[in-house]
Amino acid sequence: MNPVCPYCGEESKQVTGITLYPHLEQFAEKIFYHCKPCDSRVGCHPGTDKPLGTLANNDLRLRRNYAHKHFDRLWKEGHMKSRIHSYLWLAIAMDIPPKFCHIGHFNEEQCLEVARLSKAKLLEILND
């Protein structure tokens, strides 16, 4: 069963990136779930039809991208040992179980908290 849209309750449809991002070749072959009436969508893990998170409308997608922009610097720039270590740190900082700590499942407020915590942690690391 395809993910159900949290905005309208309709079942999403599986599409390729060419449908959602016709101007971006890098997404053409990727799999997404899309609720056309709400334009909510979620990408899938590479090579699978397993969603990366929950369906998100434009506002939530922007917040998730903002959260990733700041959070990913911690591990991509080598400030933390790995992506896994970064998510463990984030789970502790947000006081949530690690198994539930994934930006693709967060709401708008949680995404803002991720960005705030990540920026503060990066400043702390860089000032040491």
Asked if pLDDT for residue 94 goes beyond 90, the answer is: yes
Helix (H) or strand (E) holding 79: none
Largest CA distance in the chain: 50
The tokens describing 20, both together, are 């959602």
Asked if pLDDT for residue 128 goes beyond 90, the answer is: no
Give the pLDDT confidence score for residue 104 in this predicted structure.
Answer: 97
Grouping H, G, I as helix, E, B as strand and the rest as coil, residue 125 is: helix
> Per-residue pLDDT averaged across 3-19, rounded?
97
Q: Phi first, then psi: give them for residue 72, nearest 5 degrees.
A: -65, -25
pLDDT digits 0-9 by tens, 112-124: 999 999 999 999 9
Asked if pLDDT for residue 87 goes beyond 80, the answer is: yes
> Per-residue pLDDT averaged across 40-60, rounded?
97
Could you give the percent of the chain with pLDDT greater than 70? 100
Amino acid residing at 91 = A
The tokens describing 101, both together, are 């700590």
